[in-house]
Amino acid sequence: MFPAALRLAAFAAWAPVVLAAAEPVPHVAPSRPGAVPTSPVAAASGRRALLPAIRIAGVDYVAWREVAALLGMKVTWVESTRRLTLADASAKVELTAGSREVALNGLRLFLGNPTVLRGGALYVSQTDFERSLLPRLRPALLGAPPARPRIVVLDPGHGGIDHGMENKQLGLQEKILTLDVAQRLKKLLAARGYTVVLTRDDDRQLGPDKQTDFLKRADITNRAKADLFVSIHFNSLYPDTKTSGTETYAFTPPFQRSTRAWSPGEADDVEHDQAPVNRFDPWSALLAQAMHREVIDTLKTFDRGQKTMHSAVLRGLNCPAVLVESVFLSNDAEARHAATPAYRQQMAEALAAGIGDYAETLGKLQPKAALPPAAPAPSSSP
């Protein structure tokens, strides 16, 4: 059973409400004629918010029950574990009260705000709902989709004097591996008809320092008019040699902490301005899910989750973008895999499949094709 019903039924489904009070109160008309309270995503797209929100500790939240009703999903609440499940024929979402971690179709996903149990109802932040969960569950509700991607920019992490992570024992450098995977992926995508641009096609740094290097990569991407961007990396946690697995990152939405900033001792890194890439948050989420799914399924790596970060390489991009931390060079077993061309080929194939899945989803979301042009008018000359 789910906690007691939330008394929001009286609200019109499309009338968003942003309240200062902790508990839902009746809808108040906008104070200014024509003013419509909107959510972050809705504001960016000129739409109204999909669900009414209440403010809890300065963050706008929507009720899971409302989410379930909107999406037509069945809700199950288990009081003993404070765990809620939403399910329908095609998807299953599992979450826990007070936690940021969600299992979406079995894949781990970290929210930007913990869920909140209040007044017998469970809430998710509006930003998480609109920029992270809705895209992964019902991209058709997001509004006009980007065109099916044609131009893909691949970004082999590091290069030149920046070696990235290393496994000295096995003689592995991240910058060499990322370039190799990117070049393999380029071939696969080109064979499928994509125009593919690499931010670097040899062992070089793109700027005199890291910051300039990142900006240069973003600039190359924007100049190429990329439809999507994938940055490829290998992970490391020395002296920890046990940790293994795959993480997929998108840029952190405005007004949220990055995933890392939730760790003990880390500073709050909330940004209050929208970065250029934030305009594509929902589509980056959809892309992240597709990439993460394919890598986890293909390489059978441990699922370390879909996360967000304030990556300087992603910040200025004019397209949906993800950064994949494929496997750990500090983990002996994963490093030995990464050292083999066959494994890197498999990785490239998984990334290509992820891009393919994303493109296919966008293809299905495109508006119906226009009618074929009318027959040409009869020629005026005989």
Residues of the shown chain interacting with Zn ion in the complex, contacts defined by CB under 5 A: 157, 164, 233
- Shortest distance in whole angstroms from residue 170 CB to Zn ion: 17
Q: How far is the CB of 84 from Zn ion (least distance, A)?
A: 36
Residue among 195, 204, 235, 199 at smallest CA distance from 347: 235
CB of 268 closer than 8 Å to CB of 257: yes
What does each C-alpha distance from 343 to 24, 269, 280, 304 come to in angstroms?
53, 36, 31, 19
Cβ proximity to Zn ion, 149 vs 164, nearer residue: 164
Rank residues 52 and 157 by Cβ distance to Zn ion and give the closer one.
157
Residue 197, strand partner residues: 153
Q: Which is nearer to Zn ion, 127 or 231 (CB)?
A: 231
Distance in Å, CB of 325 to Zn ion, minimum: 7
Euclidean distance between CA atoms 340 and 186, whole angstroms: 18
Residues 373 and 92: their CA atoms lie apart, in Å, by: 43
The residue sitting closest to Zn ion, measured at its beta carbon, is: 233
Quote the CA–CA distance of 171 and 198 in Å, as a whole number: 25
Minimum distance, C-beta of residue 236 to Zn ion, in the bound complex (Å)? 8
Q: Which residues contact 328 (CB under 8 A, 6 or more apart)?
A: 234, 235, 236, 237, 243, 244, 245, 334, 335
Query: Is the Cβ of residue 142 or residue 179 nearer to Zn ion in the bound state?
Result: 179
Distance (Å, whole) CA 45 – CA 61: 19
Minimum separation from the CB atom of position 156 to Zn ion (A): 10
Nearer to Zn ion, 6 or 182 (CB): 182
Residue 10 DSSP one-character state: T
| Smallest gap from residue 71 Cβ to Zn ion (A) | 36
Task: Specify whether the CB–CB gap between 262 and 270 falls below 8 A.
Answer: no
Least separation in angstroms between CB 27 and Zn ion: 48
Own/partner pairs for 5-9, CB < 8 Å, 24+ apart?
5/65, 5/121, 6/63, 6/65, 6/66, 6/119, 6/120, 6/121, 8/52, 8/63, 8/66
Q: Which residue lies nearer to Zn ion by CB, 64 or 343?
A: 343
For Zn ion, the closer of residues 62 and 323 by Cβ is 323
Give the pair of three-digit tokens for residue 246.
């795959």
Contact assessment for residue 204 and residue 299, using Cβ atoms and an 8 Å cutoff: no
Q: Which two tokens stand for residue 320?
A: 């949906």
CB 357 → Zn ion: shortest distance, Å? 24
**Residue 118 or residue 200: which is nearer to Zn ion going by CB?**
200
